[in-house]
Amino acid sequence: MMPALILATIVHVAQAAPQANSAPAAAAEPAALPSIESGLALPYPASGLPQPQILTTRRAAGIPATVTLADATAIAIARVPSLDAARGEVALEDASVALARTGLAPDVSVSGSSEYSYVQGGGANASAASAAASSTFLSAQSNSGSLSLSQLIYDGGQIRAKIDAASLTRDATLATYRRDAQAVAYDVASAYYTLLADERTVAVDEELLRENIVSENLVRAQIRAGTVAGADLSTQLATTANARTTLVSAQGTLQNDRVAFATALGLAADTDVLPRDDTQGLETATPASALPAFANALDVAFAERPDVAQARLTVAADEASLRAARRGLSPSLSFSGTKGLESSNLGGGAIRNDGTLGFAVTIPIYDQGITRANVASSRATVAIATANAATTRLTVAQDVRQALISIVSDRSVLDQTRAAYGSAVTSLRSTQGQYRVGVSTLPSLIQAEASLASAATNIVNAIYTLRIAENNLRYALGTNLQ
């Protein structure tokens, strides 16, 4: 006995089937794809030996089973190890700035000492009296303490330039971290929509398998009625088997991309976490929002993208290092002073004050060419950084323009696949009905099934390709992670 769902479908098809001499059908209305909100119907694999121990998943503390794109991005930013490393790089550059600033700070130290010394009395040629005293010791105690201060007054701006270079390098590293975070958000969105595409593909393949089973039962009914040959069933069974094979393959891709999605979030591979679909309705209505002009989009990218800022800051940091190198032969002036206490008798007492004050001037004359070599090296580094910054701007312009073009193309493709899918659904329904009443052939039915499978695959790909293209544009603009 046929399942109730298949019987109901056959009745619906028979009621909807046009008569052989009916007027041509109107243009197909946009058709909705099978939803994935209620979950998938068939277990994995749809054919073959189940391996439940491989698919066992577990919940992670604080991670919901279904996440929005914003939730997924926040989880990844907090958990992806590569961003921990990037934050560590920023911390290292913070320490470098603090170290560079020490050159302008005073050097203050406190020292103290306490010494006890002794010498044995008498000697080899000593008199009897002194020899008797040879077993005694002569001793002395001395105590001292001092406070020292030194302060650089002038060095031609060399240390200040080094501080500027360190600060700008730290800011460039921070910009790199921000771009790394945007890259993580981009990867999460790509994994998010890839997995949604997989889920929708499996849902569509399940529906296509059901359509093949409906057609298979139509063939059986026609065979029982004696209107078609029994060979038709073998042909339709082969088509159904192909549909089941396609489904199993799609299920396997889905399972693998579930692992990839969890990993993109910085979670264990067996974590139970799935994306929430935000594409419902795209198969019936393409977004009509206007895209920005290329020049305007490029201005946004130049203002928002951290890699543009990183390139600019790197040039500025290298220019500061060049200024520091040029001051290698600058004169320097420093102040130093000490204030001390010192004992003046053998018992370590009678403390006296002492101290020093002074200025030191150093005027380098010749340093074996070290400064000249440092300047040449720094100048070359600035040239390299400037060229890299120019390359970055060219790359940004390319990214933005290509991302805009992709969205225009992908929207157009989605419009066409919407129309093709609606027509394919209508065609299959009509062909199934016509076959049931004997006015269509099995090859026509199989062709209609193949057309629906192709159209369904195309529209699923078009929907999620458009979502990924939108993500690409946000990443190209530097606005995908505010």
- What percent of the chain shows pLDDT beyond 90? 62
Q: What is the mean pLDDT of residues 81-95?
A: 95
Tens digits of residue pLDDT in 309-321:
999 999 999 999 9
Task: Summarize the confidence of residues 79-84 as an average pLDDT.
Answer: 95
Over 70: is that where the pLDDT of 4 sits?
A: no
Q: How far apart are CA 149 and CA 355, in angstroms?
A: 11
Provide the 10 A C-beta neighbour count for residue 185. Answer: 24
- pLDDT interval class at 284 (50, 70, 90): confident
Q: What is the mean pLDDT of residues 228-257?
A: 92
Q: Are residues 481 and 73 in contact, defined by beta-carbon separation less than 8 angstroms?
A: yes
Residue 150: phi, psi to the nearest 5? Answer: -135, 145
Q: Which domains does the chain have, with CATH numbers?
A: 4-16+27-79+157-329+368-477 (1.20.1600.10)
pLDDT mean over 239-245 = 93
Q: What is the pLDDT of residues 209-224, one digit of tens each?
A: 998 999 899 899 989 9
Please list, residue by residue across 202-213, b when 16 or more beta carbons sit within 10 angstroms of its beta carbon and e when fewer do: bbbbbbbbbbbb
Instruction: Report whether 331 contacts 363 (CB < 8 A).
Output: yes
Evaluate if pTM is beyond 0.85.
no
pLDDT at position 137 is: 61
